[in-house]
Amino acid sequence: MSAGWSWCALAFCVGLARQSKIESALLAPASLMVAVIAYYATKLERSTFLATNLSDPAQGVQVDAADYVSKIVGWCVAAAFLGCILGLAGNLARLRGLRGLPLRLLIPVSAAVEMTERLRVEASSQEAVVGATWSAVRLVAVAALVVLVGRAVTGSLHRRSGRRRENSA
pLDDT tens digit string along 27-66? 999 999 999 999 999 988 877 777 766 677 776 777 788 8
Question: What value does the mean pLDDT take over residues 99-122?
Answer: 95
Burial class (CB in 10 A: 0-12, 13-18, 19+), 60: exposed
In this prediction, residue 163 carries a pLDDT of 67
Q: Is the pLDDT at 122 greater than 60, yes or no?
A: yes
Q: Are 29 and 80 in contact (CB under 8 A)?
A: yes
85 pLDDT more than 60: yes
Percent of the chain residues past pLDDT 70, beyond the cut: 92
Would you say residue 155 has pLDDT above 90? no
Average pLDDT for residues 86-113, to the nearest whole number? Answer: 96
User: How far is residue 14's CA from residue 9's CA, in Å, rounded to a whole number?
Assistant: 8
Average pLDDT of every residue of the chain = 90
Confidence band, pLDDT 50/70/90 cuts, at residue 67: confident
Which residue, 96, 108, 106, 113, is CA-closest to 151? 96
pLDDT of residue 40: 92
pLDDT at 6: 96
Identify the pLDDT of residue 23: 97
Is the distance from CB of 1 to CB of 7 less than 8 angstroms?
yes
At residue 1, the pLDDT reads: 60
**CA angle at residue 167 from 161 to 169, to 5 degrees?**
105
pTM of whole model > 0.85? no
